[in-house]
Structure 1
Amino acid sequence: MTSNQSLTNSRTEVIEPYGGTLQNLMVPSNSQEAIKQSASKKIDCSDRNACDIELLLIGGFSPLQGFMNQKDYDSVVNSNRTADGKLFGLPIVLDTDREDLKIGDKVLLCYKNQSLAVLTIEDKWLPDKVLEAKGCYGTTSLEHPAVKMIAIERKKFYLAGKLEGLELPKRIFPCKTPSEVRKELPHNQDVVAFQCRNPIHRAHYELFTQALHAENVSKGAVVLVHPTCGPTQQDDIPGSIRFATYERLAAEVKNPMIRWAYLPYSMHMAGPREALQHMIIRRNYGCSHFIIGRDMAGCKSQLTGEDFYGPYDAQEFAKACASELEMQTVPSLNLVYTEEEGYVTADHAQSCGLHIKKLSGTQFRKMLRNNEEIPEWFAFRSVVEVLRGG
């Protein structure tokens, strides 16, 4: 047994947050108006900004207490660590084109007519976005969605500073805070996190329920199904429909070993770096284990069809970071559906000569559009009903 396994298996409470303290940057209600009035300037935030602000306020990005300064930003870009040496996958910064904002200013951060927080500016700089792209995403190609995002969507300057929280964004997805999720988790069991950004089909369900029986997961563990609800890729299913599929599925399966929550996070499709980012966030939500899928958070060139990351890059990078994070990774099984035995590993199916049934995503969408019968081995009936309605 490794020291990491011993640490996990002897735990009598939920794993402690990264850095030891779960940050809570929300100010008491009786102080909010005074904090709000202290701001002399205002910024209207993007959807991505709002996700970052929310995760900072509720402790999802613990140990951060605000947006990173240039020293931390440079360190994370270059070495996936903050300046004081803590692991971090991607920089957390606030962007602006405002020339008038300066260090020392108090700025009200607004989102869709909500006043989310007051930022006290501690640093402002002109980032080298080419270096950021190469360091964080391994490419400078604008075909990579995050490279395109930082080059075109993100504004000229980056701001840093501590936050004083006033209100959390109102969302279709009701996002529980890390503190709320932790209260619902068993205090003497492993908690396995499953990340997704699309509707859950049968193969996903088999994958994360079978993960509870992995060698490094203790008996009686639970899985936290924790889909992201922030901006994703343009061709992804809209958030309101995804949310409806999760709610219907949770009600249908009623599995006591599954916990459900939603994460206000905007995907970067950053492969290995994103795997690390997700592990840190899930540790803050109380998870001891994290399922790493093949080509997790990967993307590919639309011109050449080539992947920006290798199929196991995220798994290998996350595994290398796991011990320091005091977490464990659970590689996702390569499951296939067979006529004889249902879902089994591809290796088992091949060695036993089983008949594998396949249905591609393109075929599935075509069958949805044509109102054809979807096989239940592929998709839950409740999920199909929601997708057809949407």
Structure 2
Amino acid sequence: MTAAESAGLIAPHGGSLVNLAVPAAERESLLAGVSRRIECSDRNACDVELLVVGGFSPLRGFMHQQDYEAVVAGHRTTSGLLFGLPIVFDTDDASIAIGDQLLLTYRGQELAVMTVESRWEPDKAREAQGCYGTTSIEHPAVKMIATERGRIYLGGSIQGLELPSRVFPCKTPAEVRATLPAGQSVVAFQCRNPIHRAHYELFTRALGAANVSEQGVVLVHPTCGPTQDDDIAGEVRFQTYERLAAEVNNARIRWAYLPYSMHMAGPREALQHMIIRKNYGCTHFIIGRDMAGCKSSLSGEDFYGPYQAQDFARDNAAELGMETVPSLNLVYTEEEGYVTAEHAEARGLHIRKLSGTQFRQMLRGGEEIPEWFAFRSVVEVLRAAAG
């Protein structure tokens, strides 16, 4: 029995929580064997951190070519273990060879030593089609792998030296697990934008779902790695989360941050998020309509169907030992506040709406933002950043 199971928490993916951090006493000898230094991209650094702390358990390093190809083709490693997206290190340095020990650095920090055990030039068109369902460069992740990632992928074991210094203080899976109630449901809420009233209503109401225990908690777990170009800056988002956590002060809400870079991969990303949150101790996952979806920059058409991510996550949840909590379609009404859209329509209630574009215009114009739409504390942070 694992320590997690004995503590009454869900077992990590693959059975055990990985910790690849090297003891301080071994650091000097490890560095002595390094053959070269490689600077990580923002995305690489997120992947290194999640490997080291066990967010990608049971992986102990970047995937070898065989696992990469298996995950691209069928969201499983060669051992049959579910995995939404491949975890690989990229480079344009053709001189790197199998057996090399690379010191992975990031903004002046020495993150980890990687032993190169696999090296190949991927078929990026096949990767795009398998992972994102399209080869169109209008998809942000297809554009990323085509224009940002190097032409060579590397796989191999990782030995962690230090974690990236971030504005977001990212607790490890072990640290998050230590705060969770034993034997209770832990509902994960994923987001990458500031939390407004509708989001808050959504994840607090999820605690009342039929498959959630009475003393269950929700883990609000925003991603803090690279997202889309037009997303609000991470430093600003962090401030909104911290202010809101202090304002609501709800004992059934836990807050943590995830050093993960979004791919906007729809169904595959939903599965990836569930696996990661399982490693952080979550038993349930709120899966929203259009989760991790994106649109064509030319036609405006969605790359995924509205319920494609929900269906894919639900179909794989049982194998993960998790449950999904469908996202309620909540609207604000003059008569009853937040209710489901179906309830509002059946009762003929008056729905009030405010689009993201209108909200941003009102922020810039100094107009009063209705409290039914956004928390005052969040608005204050966003206004200060915009000013």
TM-score range, shorter chain: over 0.9
The offset of 1:127, in angstroms, is 0.2
Q: Which runs of 5+ in 1 are unaligned?
A: 1-9
What whole-Å deviation, never above 9, does each CA across 1:131-183 have from its counterpart, x for those lacking one?
00000000000000000000000001000000010000000000000000000
Secondary structure of 1:211 counterpart: helix
Q: 1:276 corresponds to which residue?
A: 271
Q: Which runs of 5+ in 2 are unaligned?
A: none
Q: 2:327 corresponds to which residue?
A: 332
Q: 2:256 pairs with 254, 261, 264, which one? A: 261
Distance in 1 (alpha carbons) for counterparts of 2:116 and 2:275: 25
Which aligned segments of 4 or more residues in structure 1 are displaced greater than 3 angstroms?
A: none
Distance in 2 (alpha carbons) for counterparts of 1:279 and 1:381: 31
The offset of 1:11, in angstroms, is 9.6
**1:350 pairs with 2:345:** yes
Distance in 2 (alpha carbons) for counterparts of 1:138 and 1:221: 36
Amino acid at match of 1:388: R
Distance in 1 (alpha carbons) for counterparts of 2:159 and 2:214: 41
Secondary structure of 1:184 counterpart: coil
| Superposed counterparts of 1:86-105, under 5 Å | 86-105=81-100
The offset of 1:12, in angstroms, is 6.8
Question: TM-score, normalization: structure 1?
Answer: 0.97
Q: 1:110 pairs with 105, 111, 132, which one? A: 105
What whole-Å deviation, never above 9, does each CA across 1:39-81 have from its counterpart, x for those lacking one?
0111111000000000000000001000000000000000000
Distance in 1 (alpha carbons) for counterparts of 2:183 and 2:58: 24
The offset of 1:194, in angstroms, is 0.1
Distance in 1 (alpha carbons) for counterparts of 2:13 and 2:109: 29
- Report if aligned partners of 1:275, 1:318 keep a CA contact under 8 Å in 2: yes
Secondary structure of 2:37 counterpart: strand
Name the count of aligned residue pairs.
381
Distance in 1 (alpha carbons) for counterparts of 2:344 and 2:6: 37
Q: 1:85 corresponds to which residue?
A: 80
What whole-Å deviation, never above 9, does each CA across 1:313-332 have from its counterpart, x for those lacking one?
00000000000000000000
The offset of 1:364, in angstroms, is 0.3
Q: 1:321 corresponds to which residue?
A: 316
- Report if aligned partners of 1:11, 1:188 keep a CA contact under 8 Å in 2: no
Distance in 1 (alpha carbons) for counterparts of 2:35 and 2:63: 22
| Superposed counterparts of 1:83-232, under 5 Å | 83-232=78-227
Q: Cα RMSD over matched residues?
A: 1.0
Amino acid at match of 1:100: S
Q: 1:15 pairs with 6, 10, 14, which one? A: 10
Secondary structure of 1:55 counterpart: helix
Distance in 2 (alpha carbons) for counterparts of 1:34 and 1:291: 45
Distance in 1 (alpha carbons) for counterparts of 2:167 and 2:32: 29
Moved more, 269-278 or 33-42: 33-42
Q: 1:379 corresponds to which residue?
A: 374
